[in-house]
Amino acid sequence: MKAALIGAGQIARQHLACLRTLPGVEIAAICDLSPALAEATAERFGARAWFTDHRSMLERVRPDVVHVTTPPPSHFRLALDALDAGAHVVVEKPATATLDELETLARRAAEAGRALVEDHNYVFNQAPLEIRRRVGTGELGPVVHVEVLICLDIFGPGGFADPNSPHPALRLAGGAIADFLPHLASLAHRFVGPHRSAQAVWAKRRPSLLPYDEFRAVIEAERGTASLGFSACSQPDAFWLRVYGERMQASANLFETRLTFDGPRPVPKPLRPFFSALEEGRAIRRAARRTLLRKFKGPGAYEGLWELLARTYRALATGTEVPVPLEDLLAVNRLVDALKPREVRP
């Protein structure tokens, strides 16, 4: 299976590092507007060819799968051209700048019988997968509520608010926070299903290029409720996922490997906090060691992306359903659209 990639930036290197490990996958071509970057990336990852024009690449290479890893405003045009060339498409989040664009891509993919997969990588981290497994076995019980909160400093040099290098995501409705909405929405959707209603609050606490630096939302969904948030001001950095089931609760920091469960214990009720704290302490110590080791081997913090890509290529090779089917892709992005600030929504 021939894979090609458009946009040789930082996240592209993670896509390519994963592809290099997948059996039966050839990195056929790299495309970037910078000739030097395209050539250097092709040499580093063993691609047979490199290009600066994506249409020329599509015509000459005829890839089976195209990865679109350029800035978000360019995704629609590039993904549409790849679908028209007969390729499956894996696109970085946000898949498109508007819901209308995504619906157009989804229709084109369905008509062509091609897959269109957005990078919902955190859904495929080990912690959410383990929580889902326990939901499936009934151990956690039916999910009542899910909380997803990202605390991330995106100010300063090299960040989204760097005045010397304005980030392309600032062109999205919601600015830099919109770049993270697919992470929040995809996790909520995975645990409580498509949304029925959504209420969001957008705020700005610090003077910067960012139109907003704080976001909170409450969601009513088919199988429960969700609260979503992004804070550029709260520290330290963290990515909290908390899932509340009828029989157990789960808590994970997806920036680390921390995952804890809390449920009824066969001890007298006054002693339950004591034993719960002991178990949580042991879990946190184990996670600290795993988090440290993760920085030195394997995909590191991108474990979810690697798992998503591995599952996607297995599905394409066997003709089975991809891990992010079109129905889920559209449902997640309908929620994203419902969460955008209304006064600047496209």
Q: Which CATH architecture has domain 2-118?
A: 3-Layer(aba) Sandwich (3.40)
Q: Please count the other Cβ atoms lying within 10 Å of the Cβ belonging to residue 247.
A: 12
Q: Please count the other Cβ atoms lying within 10 Å of the Cβ belonging to residue 262.
A: 15
Which pLDDT belongs to residue 271?
65
Which pLDDT belongs to residue 296?
65
Q: Which CATH architecture has domain 122-304+336-344?
A: 2-Layer Sandwich (3.30)
Residue 260's DSSP bridge partners are 251
Can you give the pTM of this predicted structure? 0.91
Residues carrying CATH 3.30.360.10, the chain: 122-304+336-344
Which pLDDT belongs to residue 198?
98
Cα 113 from Cα 107, distance rounded (Å): 10
pLDDT one digit per residue (tens) for the chain, 346 residues: 999 999 999 999 999 999 999 999 999 999 999 999 999 999 999 999 999 999 999 999 999 999 999 999 999 999 999 999 999 999 999 999 999 999 999 999 999 999 999 999 999 999 999 999 999 999 999 999 999 999 999 997 777 888 777 788 888 999 999 999 999 999 999 999 999 999 999 999 999 999 999 999 999 999 999 999 999 999 999 999 999 999 999 999 999 888 999 977 666 767 666 657 777 777 777 767 776 766 666 687 899 999 999 999 999 999 999 999 999 999 999 999 999 997 643 3
Which pLDDT belongs to residue 158?
73
Residues carrying CATH 3.40.50.720, the chain: 2-118
